[in-house]
Structure 1
Amino acid sequence: MASIRQVQVTFDCAEPRRVARFWCEALGYVLQPPPEGFGTWDDFDSSQPPGDRGSWAVCKDPSGVGPRLYFQRVPEGKTAKNRVHLDVRVGTGLVGEERLAALEAECARLLPLGAVRGQLLLADEDNESCLNMQDVEGNEFCLD
């Protein structure tokens, strides 16, 4: 039986490019170049039927280590809590005040990009502190 070597995370959203740009900034990812034969994404979009323009975007880890993120336009809005979310690992190996400072610093960096701060969950016997947040369209993620 073959094992899976790559994972893509797909986001349903209203504005794929806007959400993709947020995640590029948040993770240090880059937008995927436009399809071959097109100099820009605007050139590609102008070749598509009006309803398909801007319907998807992709960002990827420039080092090739992290998963590819795919953003697809869907007609319905977000109505409930995500069943899956990303943990952005900014505090790995840190504990106590040092970890809280790392979480707060990353939160402060993401807020001007359109992120929304959620609840800070303090460390307990089983878990280290983490900070719940939302991206520009309300998709939950954690600073961990």
Structure 2
Amino acid sequence: MAREIQVTFDCADPAAVSAFWAEALGYELQAPPAGFDSWDQALEAMGVPPERRNDASAVVAPDGKGPRLFFQKVPEGKTVKNRVHLDVRAAPGLQGDERMAALEAEAERLRAHGAKRIHRHEPAPPMAFGHIVMADIEGNEFCLD
């Protein structure tokens, strides 16, 4: 039986990092529990003090088909390269100049939302079609593929 997965990010500012990834992936902030118009209302009712209301956040695919991304506040900052990272499929099926142009356009769009460009890897057929390494607003690496 295949299992559903959730991808969890350790971060300093869950609300900001979740907003970035929602924009990057076309996801949306997970809706608050039934009966609440906002997360602030729900957290208030649960007795969560205001200073703890940015301890976690989650985004979900609007069609429910992608994994849930969960963002949890941790006290330490990022210090080394990620061992696991997301590949954002920004140019599936494209090759050569057309592929790299699509990746460059997505890189620029995400830079406008706070991403940092790290390195462009040129196509080297037959095994490598080219990709761009980026980092989100807290330095978590991901690839535009």
Taking structure 1 as the reference length, what is the TM-score of the superposition? Answer: 0.92
Task: Give ranges in structure 2 of 5+ residues lacking alignment.
Answer: none
AA partner of residue 81 (structure 1)? K
CA contact (8 A) 1:86 1:142 kept: yes
For 2:120 and 2:38, locate their aligned partners in 1 and report how far apart those are by CA, in whole Å: 40
Any residues of structure 2 matched to 1:123-138 within 5 Å, and which?
A: 123-125=123-125, 126-138=127-139
For 1:85 and 1:120, locate their aligned partners in 2 and report how far apart those are by CA, in whole Å: 16
AA partner of residue 118 (structure 2)? G
Q: 1:28 aligns with which of 26, 29, 39?
A: 26
Any residues of structure 2 matched to 1:34-113 within 5 Å, and which?
A: 34-46=32-44, 47-50=47-50, 52-113=52-113
AA partner of residue 21 (structure 2)? W
Instruction: Write out per-residue CA displacement over residues 40-75 of structure 1, whole angstroms, 9 at most, x where no aligned residue.
Output: 122234430355321000100011111110000001
Two-structure CA RMSD over aligned residues (Å):
1.3
For 1:79 and 1:4, locate their aligned partners in 2 and report how far apart those are by CA, in whole Å: 33
- Note if 1:141 corresponds to 2:142: yes
CA contact (8 A) 1:45 1:54 kept: no
AA partner of residue 74 (structure 1)? V
Deviation at 1:33, TM superposition (A): 1.1
- Note if 1:120 corresponds to 2:107: no
For 2:95 and 2:117, locate their aligned partners in 1 and report how far apart those are by CA, in whole Å: 21
Deviation at 1:12, TM superposition (A): 0.3
For 1:4 and 1:139, locate their aligned partners in 2 and report how far apart those are by CA, in whole Å: 27
AA partner of residue 122 (structure 1)? E
Deviation at 1:118, TM superposition (A): 1.1
* Percent of residue pairs bearing the same amino acid type: 54
For 1:63 and 1:40, locate their aligned partners in 2 and report how far apart those are by CA, in whole Å: 21
AA partner of residue 139 (structure 1)? N
Task: Give ranges in structure 1 of 5+ residues lacking alignment.
Answer: none
Runs (4+) of structure 1 moved beyond 6 Å?
Answer: none
Tell me the equivalent position of 1:8.
6
- Secondary structure of 1:141's aligned partner: strand
For 1:82 and 1:4, locate their aligned partners in 2 and report how far apart those are by CA, in whole Å: 26
